[in-house]
Amino acid sequence: MLALSRQHERVALTEIPPPRPERGEALVRVRMAGICNTDLEIIRGYMSFDGVLGHEFVGVVEACDDERWQGARVAGEINLACHSCSMCQRGYERHCPTRRVLGILGKDGAFAQYVTLPLCNLHRVPAALSDRAACFIEPIAACCEILEQVAVTPTDRVAVLGDGKLGSLAALTLQSRGAKPVLVGKHATKLARVQRFGVQTALAAELTPKTFDVVVEATGSPSGMKLATELVRPRGTIVLKSTYHGALTAEAAPWVIDELTIVGSRCGPFPPAIAALDAGTLLPDALIDDVFPLHEATRAIERAAEPSVLKVLLQMPA
């Protein structure tokens, strides 16, 4: 099959054998996949991952040992847990110490014609939901996780830092769940993309320091944490969403002096993400800049890395 892989710091489109599902797994023919900032950071060296890239996808189950899933159109959770350790027994499968992570850690990803995942990781995609929209299930689930971790009320002042792929989705998701976020960015064209949905936007220089109850840091840059610390009020909360290759250097004294809560936030629940997309409360199509066929995947990666671009999708061969 055709796949986009990273090997020894080099990214290339190659022909590799299709994966074989193990017991309890499904072989999924990928229909479409999304390129996110984490993929771009992995290419730069984040997580030191070698293998097939990609973790945002929609596909069709072609083979499995449970006929009820045969032919189902699905999206998949990306953490492959052992389901037997103490963390898994406590319901924290996403934090299983021996987990593999699709396209990120020890598990070939979805920038390929086929991928395998455990059946317990799969979620059926509603028939009315397009493949383009279904590619947003995983990142929207990650945005829903913010509200699983932090109680945000409609009266809270919330800032989302970063007008890129994740920040824009986070602002839209928070708004759809009753919050009133301000999306803070540097690019007028990107900010305009979410303004059309009624999201308030601002440049960092326009904001008053120490006035936000919750700050979601989704810049994808180490500098974002400094800005988050400046904007959050004493005893406020910073939700750290950014992933990037490189070290975070930050002054921790303000976290202690202002008694801040720092919350790391990663993957999230699929059901509310699917429900929001199916109900039409989230319309991510406006964030899509381009769709490339898989055989042009390297060009798609270059396009996704352009500063003005939000979302690029890969269309797999039929």
| pLDDT of 62 | 98
Within 10 angstroms of residue 22's Cβ, the number of other Cβ atoms is 9
pLDDT of residue 318 exceeding 90, the answer is: no
Distance CA(143)–CA(200), nearest Å, equals 18
Q: Report residue 157: phi and psi, to 5°.
A: -85, 120
> Is the pLDDT score of 247 beyond 90?
no
Q: Alpha-carbon distance 140 to 133, whole Å?
A: 10
- Same domain, yes or no, for 109 and 205? no
Q: 223: exposed, middle or buried (C-beta count within 10 Å: 0-12, 13-18, 19+)?
A: middle
Q: What is the rounded (10 degree) CA torsion for 60, 64, 68, 72?
A: 0
Task: State the pLDDT at residue 246.
Answer: 86
Whichever domain contains 44, its CATH number is 3.90.180.10
Residues 126 and 151 in one domain: no
Same domain? For 118 and 185 the reply is no
pLDDT for 245 beyond 90: no
Residues 6+ apart with CB under 8 A from 232: 210, 212, 213, 214, 215, 238, 258, 260
In this prediction, residue 259 has a pLDDT band, given cuts at 50, 70 and 90, of very high
The CA-atom distances, in angstroms, between 262 and each of 46, 111, 159, 280 are: 22, 33, 15, 32
Token pair listed for 34:
């999304």
Looking at the structure, tell me whether residues 151 and 213 fall in a common domain: yes
214 in the same domain as 92: no
pTM, rounded to two decimals: 0.96
How many helices (H) does the chain have, and how many strands (E)? 10, 19
Q: What is the mean pLDDT of the chain?
A: 96
pLDDT for position 250:
86
Confidence of residue 201 (pLDDT cuts 50, 70, 90): very high
Q: Is the model's pLDDT at 51 over the cut of 90?
A: yes
235 and 181 together in one domain: yes
Q: Is residue 272 part of a domain?
A: no
Domain check: are 30 and 129 in the same one? yes
- Give the pLDDT score at 224: 96
Is the pLDDT at 244 greater than 90? The verdict is: no
**Residue 104 belongs to some domain of the structure:** yes
Q: How many domains does the chain have?
A: 2
Residue 219 dihedral angles phi and psi, to the nearest 5°: -80, -25
Q: What are the strands, taking DSSP E only, across 93-231?
A: 100-102, 106-107, 114-118, 122-124, 158-161, 181-184, 200-202, 212-217
Are 119 and 154 contained in the same domain? no
Same-domain status, 256 and 162: yes
Q: Is residue 271 part of a domain?
A: no
- The CATH number of residue 217's host domain is 3.40.50.720
Give me the pLDDT at residue 72, please.
Answer: 98
Whether 31 and 64 map to the same domain: the answer is: yes
Mean pLDDT for the stretch of residues 288-312: 97
* 77, pLDDT greater than 90: yes
Per-residue pLDDT of 3-41, as tens digits, reads: 999 999 999 999 999 999 999 999 999 999 999 999 999
Q: How confident is the model at residue 143 (pLDDT cuts 50, 70, 90)?
A: very high
Residue numbers of the domain that contains 299? 2-136+282-315
Pair 109, 156 in one domain? no
290 and 229 belong to one structural domain: no
| Mean pLDDT value of segment 277-282 | 95
- Residue 235 falls within a domain, yes or no? yes
Mean local confidence (pLDDT), 102-127:
98
